[in-house]
Amino acid sequence: MKLKPFVSADKVVLNLESGSQGDILKQLMLPLVKVGNMIANEEEFLSDLITRENEVTTVMENGIAFPHARSEAVNRLCLVVGLAPDGIQFSPEKGNTSKVIFLIGVPSFAPTAHIPILQSLATFAKDEVRLEKLLAAKTPAQAVKVLATYKG
């Protein structure tokens, strides 16, 4: 699954700041709110994300996190890439800090639409060379390039 159609420079957050899980999710949601038509209700999406996170963690063993939720509040399948080169604590009970966080919004009427993207991203996240390249991105466009050229 090519990631190219789902990544764009306006949906990259280069320096995520540490905070509560809700704070981090809000930083990641901001680009979707700015676009306007992606999210119908911010609070509802945030609450669905946290509910999903509590069901079973989306943090992989290496710390890469993939918060996502199927939500009535999401109008379109969407992806935001967040980077924190120094690592931030996304999930309190998980020891590993997260340097990369992928936020995925899934509309409730297409609840499996994200599965191919999740598979691609999970494969990407196991590729240390690619991860290093992504984390070295100095601009959103550079981050997009690393993901868009990935053929996982």
Partner 1 sequence: MSEVIPLLEKLQNLEITLNEAEILHGDRPEVDDLKKKCQDIRRQIDTDALARYDRLSRHGLSVVKIINDMCMGCHMIIPKGDLNRMTSGKEDAICPNCGRYLIL
Distances (CA, A) of 84 to 12, 30, 110, 119, 143: 11, 16, 30, 22, 12
> Cβ 139 to partner 1, closest distance in Å?
28
Closest CB to partner 1 among residues 20, 108: 108
Is 37 a residue that touches partner 1 (CB under 8 A)?
A: no
The DSSP secondary structure of 31-71, one letter per residue, reads HHHHHSSSBS-HHHHHHHHHHHHHHS--B-TTS-B--EEEE
Residue with tokens 């009970």: 93
Interface residue with partner 1 among 6, 45, 66, 90 (CB under 8 A) is: 66
Is 3 a residue that touches partner 1 (CB under 8 A)?
A: no
Is 102 a residue that touches partner 1 (CB under 8 A)?
A: no
Is 89 a residue that touches partner 1 (CB under 8 A)?
A: no
Contact 52, 69 (CB under 8 A): yes
Closest CB to partner 1 among residues 65, 140: 65
> Cβ 122 to partner 1, closest distance in Å?
5
